[in-house]
Structure 1
Amino acid sequence: MKKILLFLLLFIYANTVKAQNESITHSGDIIQIALPVVALGSTFIWNDDDTKPTWQLLKAYGTGLVIQQALKRIVLKPRPDGTDNYSFPSGHTTSAFSGAAFIQKRYGWKYGIPSYLLASFVGYSRIQAKKHDGWDVLGGAVVGISTSYFFTKRYEKKNIEVSINKNQDGQTLCLLYTF
């Protein structure tokens, strides 16, 4: 009876671990797309036409994709699970860190820190899924961050607003300074 209970406990534990690992992998798959999509959405919300933020993101993301795919075909490093020879650098990580670096460079560390934490989770999910090792993830992060830093300009909100209002007594000049 003890052997049967032990077998059942081990069976339940093994299935729980497998389900958790699949959840981590699936979450990483979603976040690696969600970060660049959020970055793209932000370019429409905080659009200053003179810097063309959407174009900045597209150049950064596209360049990162081209570099990452070229490196995969040049390096030909086998994956830890042995499925193919396109391990270095991690494409998921390149994508996630490209979005995170864009958000951080454009809008600051207040939004950058959570973005980088999510991108780091994507890297972890790739290692946990045995698709990449630490060097593959680091390579993807370097490609994603460097291309975003190269193409992205910081968003500068206007600190002073000037308006003239008409009232009963004449006109009022208003200056609004935002810190």
Structure 2
Amino acid sequence: MGSKLSYYMKILLGIIMSILLYGVVVYAQSDALGHEKWEYVLEDSGDILQIAIPVSAGLITLLKEDYKGTKSLALSYGTTLALSYTFKHITKLKRPEGRNRFDSFPSAHTSSAFSGASFLQRRYGWNYGWPAYLLATIVAVSRTEGPDGYHTVWDVLGGAAMGIGSTYLFTKPYENPKLEFGLSVNRSSRILTIRYIL
């Protein structure tokens, strides 16, 4: 089951990367404001991925029937969002794109994406983690390089740190329950042992 899910994660990554590449090639033109159309594709991709990554993580926990993982994800993701919006309210840093908004630090899109990505890596290993981290990085880039440049590099780094930190507070690596068999043979006896490891 694990390698099959990892296979599907790679397919999902391929599809998303193809869509982004298509957007860069087809929409490599400028609009009236001087923004290239691929920037809009990047921004829209970030908007979708910030939700898609943690939702995918939740679906994987359910497919694996890993309900402890589901609980860990809920706790870590909830903590990530609570921290992100609390810090936005406390710091009141002005957005870099010039609008009169004071909620720049941290990037909540980035913290959401990195919360899901770090959960997949921490819980199920790097076969799940590297595609998720790559997609989360696309979200971070979309927040600084999109047409409006909603965040600074420090905003996305802060968001990523909050997402990863919250995951490591609540998530432990997943281990499938295992059966171990042993056989001991000597002249007068044979002993078969079965051990179930939780």
- Tell me what 2:9 maps to: none
Give the TM-score of the pair, scaled to structure 1: 0.79
Q: What RMSD over aligned residues (CA atoms) do the two structures have, in Å? A: 2.1
Larger Rg: 1
Give the TM-score of the pair, scaled to structure 2: 0.71
SS in 2 for 1:160: strand
Q: In the alignment, does 2:83 pair up with 1:64?
A: no
Cα displacement (A) at 1:48: 3.6
SS in 2 for 1:14: coil
Report runs of 4+ in structure 1 exceeding 6 Å deviation. none
Give the number of aligned pairs.
152
Q: In the alignment, does 2:149 pair up with 1:133?
A: no
Identify the range of structure 1 (53-62 vs 139-148) with the bigger mean alpha-carbon deviation. 53-62
SS in 2 for 1:47: coil
Distance 1:80 1:17 in 2: 16
Q: In the alignment, does 2:162 pair up with 1:146?
A: no
Cα displacement (A) at 1:143: 0.3
Q: Which has the higher contact order (CA 8 A, sep 6+)?
A: 1
Distance 2:170 2:92 in 1: 28
Q: In the alignment, does 2:114 pair up with 1:112?
A: no
Identity score, percent: 46
Which of 27, 52, 55 is residue 34 of structure 1 equivalent to? 52
Cα displacement (A) at 1:134: 0.3
Amino acid across the alignment from 1:107: Y
Q: 5+ unaligned residues in a row in structure 1: which ranges?
A: 1-11, 163-172
The superposition leaves residues 99-149 of structure 1 with CA deviations (integer Å, 9 ceiling, x where unpaired) of 000000000011111111110110000001210010000000000000011
Cα displacement (A) at 1:87: 0.3
The superposition leaves residues 7-58 of structure 1 with CA deviations (integer Å, 9 ceiling, x where unpaired) of xxxxx84239532111000001001100000001011111245xx2111111
Distance 1:48 1:91 in 2: 27
Q: In the alignment, does 2:73 pair up with 1:54?
A: no
Q: In the alignment, does 2:104 pair up with 1:90?
A: no
Do 2:29 and 2:37's aligned partners in 1 also have CA atoms closer than 8 Å? no
Distance 2:65 2:167 in 1: 17
Amino acid across the alignment from 2:52: A
SS in 1 for 2:103: coil
Which of 121, 141, 161 is residue 124 of structure 1 equivalent to? 141
SS in 1 for 2:127: helix
